[in-house]
Structure 1
Amino acid sequence: MTLLAHRAEGPPSAPPLLLGPSLGTSNALWDKVAPELSITHRVVRWDLPGHGSSAAGLIEAGATVGDLADLVLALADSLGIERFAYAGVSLGGAVGLHLAVHRPERLSSLAVICSSAHFNGAKPWQERAALVRREGLAGLAESADARWFTSGFTVPELVEDHRRADPEAYAACCDALAAFDLRDRLAEIAVPALLVAGRNDPATPPAHLREIADAVPGATLVELPGASHLAPAQCPEAVLTALRAHLGGPAGRGMEVRREVLGDAHVDRAQARQTPFTARFQDFISRYAWGEIWTDPTLSRRERSMITLTALVAHGHYDELAMHVRAARRGGLTPEEIGAVLLQSAVYCGVPAANSAFATAQRVLAEEDGTAG
């Protein structure tokens, strides 16, 4: 049996993660995301029929999203993968929704990125399929940037993939989108689900992802500012942050610990201030500081709070010190214990540093406990 072309990365023994592409692209859509995910997962990214390196004959006119889902399952079977996490963009996301409804036993989790439970009815896709069968893909490729990215941004390799796709296979994928509508089945989805929307996406705007999130029990919705339709290519760091938290790796565990130590209010404020520019740094903090260091059982959280307070005094980071005085109180340290830590710091870090630290701590303790410590 001819299989979908694919690219596998990561340890063969790691948890499997399948990545699906958008119409008109290849698995190169995931170039800035897959290598990072492959550190903790066995990543398999696949090409649509007639796209990238997949054979055009794998799909025929009148195809459905279910047909594409069957091809994905055949690929997984050939690789010995029984159950897997899945993430897909646009048409690739629709494949994930189909699997979650019709073959839930195969999925451990689902991430739907810049996609929808329906694609605005059959007519526009029937018209696009007819156009491509009649004129080929050159004209559509010329407008790919406007459909895929915000103004001034492009990924030439992906536009070239669009131009080189097989017209008949592309048209058959349009047939699949024309027939796709799972809105009345969304409530049946029981696997952990993440919905990622690009706030500037004209093809599947955030309202489409909100519709899924509202219907799927327990689903999480993330909206990415500055992202259009191909978010993994345009905002890879933000997509990575969302996927890592969803997949439950170090970033996911780290975010949980971060909330336990610092409190929901502080973390929510930090998340609200996150931008595509700062997303990678926030992911770094969640994965390494909170997901690996603070979760190490060698030291208790009380001990880590004491060490952290001392380090912040030593370097004069008094805004951070205020935050960690609050964290220390949440973790059970008394005002007397915090004072003892600062007094110890006076001996080894200097009296002026400890003097400023006592002033900061006294203010925080008064705010938190109504006492000067």
Structure 2
Amino acid sequence: MSVKQDHRSDGCSDWADHYWWSSDGVRLHARIYAGPPAAGDAPPILCLPGLARNARDFEQLAPHLAQYRRVIAVEFRGRGESAYTKDPMTYVPLTYVQDVIALLDDLKVDRFATVGTSLGGLVSMLLAATQPGRLVGAVLNDVGPELQAAGLERIRDYIGTGGSQPTWIHAARAFGELNAAVYPGFEIHDWLRLTKRTHRLTAEGRIVTDYDKQIAAPLRVPNGGDAGVDLWPAYRALGGIPLLVLRGELSDILARDAAARMTAELPGARLAEVPGVGHAPTMDEPEALAAIDAWAADLPAA
């Protein structure tokens, strides 16, 4: 494990880079935002990204949450500065859960909250089920125990594909064409911002997606990407803690009926729908931020 101080290029937020090792020898990375001194030993918030995302997905949300308490933006194996694995079949939720537990042990964190987008939300549910009593709050961003087949098929079609682009503008336009139905209101500056979160510059000066294309391997097996098990018990493990379900109005992953059932199953759960976006809200939207602020206010202080 090693730690160094790094800085946001806009000078607005600081974080510490943290590296730790998985049980199978993969070097993993997270950004740690210190939080206010008044937060003391309050349980930190773990930000868990979606399938093809990384810690930069939270470059606005993490410093916003850090006004309340320490924030840890995780990069799953094969994404961002986390190393790629030799065995692509370890790119599965249960392995990510084990990696997160190794991080918590490394940082000596007992109790924590999570903000999980898509895959990150599935990991949150599995953490609740396998680490009883440790999770003190959760935000599930456009994900739940039931996933729509159409959305899963769309993800299978594009994940791990695609080449490189010569400039950031070219990459933003290509990314915008691929995801036009997800964020129909985006302009080119929005796509450029999102592209810089999800892509990287190679040593050859090309722009490529910032993940190991082999993360798609488990999705290619029969029923890959489908849960294969009943995730409702894992979801119910979130009962009794502050819980926010965010849903994109246009989502093809989390159906409106499924989101309604989620709130009915756990009466303490709040549901907030983010207008005009699909899977998944960036959580920079005013509606998402307002709902997350209300959720954070209910987290335990210690």
- Normalising to structure 1: TM-score of the pair? 0.57
Given the superposition, is the C-alpha separation of residues 45 and 180 from structure 1 closer, same or farther in structure 2, using an over 3 Å criterion? farther
Deviation at 1:10, TM superposition (A): 2.3
Residue of structure 2 in register with 1:280 after alignment: none
Paired residues for 1:80-229 under 5 Å: 80-120=108-148, 128=156, 144-146=178-180, 148-153=182-187, 154=191, 155-160=194-199, 163-172=209-218, 177-179=225-227, 181-185=229-233, 186-190=235-239, 191-229=241-279
From the superposition, tell whether residues 4 and 181 of structure 1 become closer, same or farther in structure 2 (CA, over 3 Å). farther
1:196-345 aligned at under 5 Å gives the runs: 196-235=246-285, 237-248=286-297
Q: Residue 201 of structure 1 aligns to a residue in which SS?
A: coil
Quick one: distance in 2 between partners of 1:59 and 1:213? 38
Task: Give the Cα separation in 1 of the matches to 2:156 and 2:248.
Answer: 23
Which aligned pairs between 1:58-77 and structure 2 lie closer than 5 A?
60-61=88-89, 63-77=91-105
Distance 2:268 2:288 in 1: 20
Aligned length: 249
d(CA) in 1 for partners of 2:275, 2:49 = 21
Unaligned runs of 5+ in 1: 253-373
**Cα gap change, 1:158 to 1:59, in 2 (>3 Å):** farther
Contact 2:249 2:277 in 1 (8 A): yes
- AA in 2 matched with 1:195: V
Match of 1:54 in 2: 82
1:177 is paired with a residue whose SS is coil
Higher strand share: 2
Q: Deviations over 1:77-115 (max 9, x none)?
A: 111111101110011111111112222322011110111
Cα pair distance change 1:141/1:181, threshold 3 Å: farther
Greater mean deviation of Cα atoms: 21-30 or 137-146: 137-146
Cα deviations by residue, 1:299-350 (Å, 9 ceiling, x for unpaired): xxxxxxxxxxxxxxxxxxxxxxxxxxxxxxxxxxxxxxxxxxxxxxxxxxxx
Identity of aligned residues (%): 23
Give the aligned residue type for 2:212.
D
Match of 2:65 among 17, 31, 37: 37
What is the alpha-carbon root mean square deviation over aligned residues?
Answer: 3.5
2-structure distance, mates of 1:89, 1:174: 22
Partner of 2:34: 10
Q: Which moved more, 1:85-94 or 1:54-63?
A: 54-63
Letter in 1 for 2:71: V
Residues 118, 181 of structure 1: 8 Å contact kept: no
| 1:211–1:132 CA distance, 2 compared to 1 (3 A) | same
Distance 1:215 1:5, change over 3 A: same
Displacement of 1:145 after TM fit?
2.4
Q: Is the helix fraction higher in 1 or 2? A: 1
Distance in 1 between residues matched to 2:95 and 2:272, nearest whole Å = 29
Once the 2 structures are TM-superposed, how far is the Cα of residue 24 of structure 1 from its aligned partner?
A: 1.1
What is the Cα deviation at residue 50 of structure 1?
1.2
Deviation for aligned residue 1:9 = 0.3
> Is the 1:87–1:112 contact (alpha carbons within 8 Å) kept by the matching residues of 2?
yes
Return the offset for 1:14. 4.8
**Deviation for aligned residue 1:25:** 1.4
1:326 matched residue in structure 2: none
Tell me if the contact between 1:59 and 1:172 (Cα under 8 Å) persists in the aligned partners: no
Amino acid at match of 2:66: S
The answer as to whether partners of 2:156 and 2:216 remain within 8 angstroms in 1 is: no
Residues 209-237 of structure 1: CA deviation (Å, up to 9, x unaligned): 323222234211111223332323551x3
Q: Distance in 1 between matches of 2:132 and 2:258?
A: 22
Larger radius of gyration: 1
Query: Alpha carbons of 1:62 and 1:141: their partners in 2 closer, same or farther (altered >3 Å)?
Result: farther
Which deviates more from structure 2 when the two are superposed, residues 239-248 or residues 168-177?
168-177
Quick one: distance in 2 between partners of 1:82 and 1:29? 25
